[in-house]
Amino acid sequence: MNPILLVPIILFTILLGVGIGFLAWNLIMSRRFHRAEKDATKVLDEAVTKQKEILLEAKEDSLKIKTEVESEVRSRRSELHRQERRISQKEENIDRKSEALERRERNLGAKEKELDRSMAQLEEFKKKQVHQLELISGMSTAEAKELLLTMVEEESRQDMAQRIREIEAQLKEEADQRAREVVAFSIQRCATDVTSETTVSVVHLPSDDMKGRLIGREGRNIRALESATGVDLIVDDTPEAVTISCFDPIRREVARLALERLILDGRIHPARIEEVVGKAKDEVDAIIQTEGEQAAYKTGVVGLHPEVVKLLGHLKYRFSYGQKVLTHSIEVSYLAAMIAAELGADVNVAKTAGLLHDIGKAADQEIEGPHAAIGADITRRLGKSTEVSKAIAEHHGEADSMGVFGFIVAAADAISSSRPGARRESLDQHLKRLEALENVASSFPGVEKSFAIQAGREVRILVKPQDIDDLSTVRLARDIVKKIEESLEYPGQIKVTVIRETRAVDYAK
């Protein structure tokens, strides 16, 4: 084919294809437009329908709300009307009450004036009556008041004394019951030996010929022994015995040991005496140390300073009213521990204070002051606790106050000292103490006679019944107890019994 003809055909074909495509595209677009128009119309119709439905619902809701609001307004109006009616009723009631109060006030005012007139009449009548009573009794009003106050005061004192006696009886009964339980339980668990005091020691000799050897030529041996030991050696007619006399028990023990060794050895001269006395002193020092350690071991007290242990051992040779102080201290330690256990206090503090409560007696010849204060100072200085030192200082009531452990040690000390056979005193001291006790009781007005009985453990006082009434006997007993505590020194406690008795005797003939 001719190429020239082919070109127009191709162009025509192309144009034809383009025209057909354009027509197809227009057709498609037209359909899409109609479809979109239909969809838009449909959406618009649905929107209009929805709008109508919403408007209808809104109208219904508005009508419903309007109805509710109108109903609430009506209810509130009715409530307001009711409240207005109640308020108006209350105002009417208040008006009526105020009128009634005004009438009552007017009535009260009138009554008050009437009462004032009556009070004035009564006061005038009272003055007349008081004047007549003063004329009849012969006393003024002030004197009558003073008499009345005196009578009331006396009655109050009697009532108070009666009440005090009842309370004291009740408290004493309860305290005595508890104390008896604690003391009895402690005593039954403690049993110790009784040691009597002595100021002389007797050394037995193998024969009377030994007395001459002890004296020596011109008495040089006995003088050397007395000079080395500081004792008095009594050589008398007692067969086969010599007596060592000294108030210092340690010196007496040193002299006894030295004399026994000299007798066994047979070599008695001044040089030998000095050598044996030196060994005896060392032995006594060793005994003192051992006794102190044994006392601490027996009581279970640990951590004592070596100096305290040594002072404790010295108490083996110290006596108080015939009672060995070391044995007494061990016993007090046991009792204090038991009492502390019963009361729930610290047992270690109690038994330590009980063991060391008389430690001052081992040094009271070197330091001035009471043995309780000396012992407290020693224990405080040598590292014991404050509670132990305080209890030692308080156990004789010489401190300003007394704590729990002070009471415990004081009670244990009294128990150990007061049990039968524990202590003894000379006849002269005993009689002087009884006489002083009776003199204290007889020094009070109204006392007729007084008797110290039961070895000074009790004093009974007979009073004049016309001077002392029943209630005054309570105050008198308490005053006598206070004066005894302040002016006398005594072991244990003293019971004061005041007796008031009235007897009427007549004879039928």
Question: Are the beta carbons of 358 and 325 closer than 8 angstroms?
Answer: yes
Q: Which of 111, 126, 158 is the last residue of a domain?
A: 158
Q: What is the pLDDT of residue 184?
A: 59
Q: What is the pLDDT of residue 366?
A: 61
Q: What is the pLDDT of residue 194?
A: 46
**CATH code of 435's domain:** 3.30.300.20
Q: What is the pLDDT of residue 409?
A: 84
- The C-alpha atoms of residue 293 and residue 499 are separated, in whole angstroms, by 52
Q: Say if 176 falls within a structural domain.
A: no
- 54 phi and psi angles, rounded to 5 deg: -65, -40
- The C-alpha atoms of residue 177 and residue 102 are separated, in whole angstroms, by 71
Q: What is the pLDDT of residue 364?
A: 54
Helix (H) or strand (E) holding 171: helix 141-188
Q: What is the pLDDT of residue 425?
A: 52
Q: Which two tokens stand for residue 110?
A: 């009138």
Helix (H) or strand (E) holding 290: helix 270-299
Q: Say if 233 falls within a structural domain.
A: no
Q: Identify residue 430 by its one-letter amino acid code.
A: H
- The C-alpha atoms of residue 126 and residue 148 are separated, in whole angstroms, by 19
Q: Say if 143 falls within a structural domain.
A: yes
pLDDT tens track, the chain, 509 positions: 566 667 777 777 887 777 788 777 878 887 877 888 788 888 888 888 888 888 888 888 888 888 888 888 888 888 888 888 889 888 888 888 888 888 888 888 888 888 888 888 888 888 777 777 767 766 666 776 777 777 777 777 777 777 777 787 777 777 767 766 666 555 555 545 444 445 557 777 777 777 777 778 888 888 888 888 888 877 777 777 888 887 777 888 888 888 888 888 778 888 888 888 888 888 888 888 888 888 888 888 888 888 888 888 888 877 766 667 888 888 888 888 888 888 888 888 888 888 888 888 877 556 666 777 888 888 888 777 788 888 888 877 767 777 888 888 888 887 777 655 555 555 667 678 888 888 988 899 889 889 888 767 789 999 988 888 887 888 888 889 989 888 887 766 788 899 888 777 777 87
Q: Say if 129 falls within a structural domain.
A: yes
The Cα angle at residue 74 between residues 73 and 76, in degrees rounded to 5: 65
Instruction: Give me the number of domains the chain comprises.
Output: 2
Q: Which of 158, 193, 226 is the last residue of a domain?
A: 158
Q: Say if 492 falls within a structural domain.
A: yes
Q: What is the pLDDT of residue 196?
A: 45
Q: Say if 2 falls within a structural domain.
A: no
Q: Say if 491 falls within a structural domain.
A: yes
The residue to which tokens 């404050």 are assigned:
386
What domain range is 70 assigned to?
51-158
DSSP annotation of 369: S
Q: What is the pLDDT of residue 507?
A: 77
Q: Say if 262 falls within a structural domain.
A: no
Q: Which of 142, 158, 174 is the last residue of a domain?
A: 158
